[in-house]
Amino acid sequence: MGSFMKNIVILISGSGSNMAAIVQAAQREHWSERLGVRVAAVISNQPDAAGLKQAHGVATQAVDHKAFATREAFDAALQHAIDAYAPTLVVLAGFMRILTPAFVRHYEGRLINIHPSLLPAFTGLNTHQRALDAGCKVAGATVHRVTSELDHGEILAQAVVPVLAGDTAATLAARVLTQEHIIYPQVIASLLQAGVT
């Protein structure tokens, strides 16, 4: 079965908590035996990303974006590193780089992301503070397909959390992150079960 394994490559920039949740779900739920799937690699654009040390035995690699003169050159090097694993799915898990249209096209249908808001609300950064400033009663996270338009691809799943009196951006972020760790592995497993299309 080994040679028929489907590979997942996870891209991170920081602590890699969503990556760790996915890797742990894969181990706990026996994705390799049940789905013929393995997390093949974790790749970061930050050589010192804490998540590279928390990859639970998965191969890690850094492609430092600062080593490249242009976004296109970085994306080409990143694509080369990813394609070495012939991935069925490329999973953005706190990957803080805007990807070029050519890169997104190359992985069309195989590239997913998690965003810490209930899309289409609050695309981009500082989502939790913006939700608080807007007086939202709920917040949450969205797993979506990646298209060349930032945070606009097809929504695959959402999780909703209440906004509580006295919330700060940090307390709201922590509550949302707990849900991210639940829904992201679920979406990946169901996509792979369905045969990613």
SS3 of 88-103:
EEEEECCCCCCCCHHH
Tokens 């394609």, located at residue: 83
Specify the long-range contacts of residues 59-63, CB closer than 8 Å, at least 24 apart. Answer: none
| Residue 171, SS3 per DSSP | helix
The pLDDT assigned to 2 comes to 44
**Residue at 14: amino acid letter:** G
Local structure of 9: helix, strand or coil: strand
Confirm whether 115 is a catalytic residue: yes
Per-residue pLDDT of the chain (197 residues; tens, 9 = 90+): 444 789 999 999 999 999 999 999 999 999 999 999 999 999 999 999 999 998 999 999 999 999 999 999 999 999 999 999 999 999 999 999 989 999 999 999 999 999 999 999 999 999 999 999 999 999 999 999 999 887 889 999 999 999 999 999 999 999 999 999 999 999 999 999 888 65
Could you tell me the domains of the chain? 2-194 (3.40.50.170)
Of the listed 80, 106, 115, 181, which one is catalytic? Answer: 115
Q: Which helix (H) or strand (E) holds 130?
A: helix 127-133
Cis amide bond preceding 116, omega within 30 = no
Q: What is the pLDDT of residue 1?
A: 41
The pLDDT, as a whole number, for residue 197 is: 52
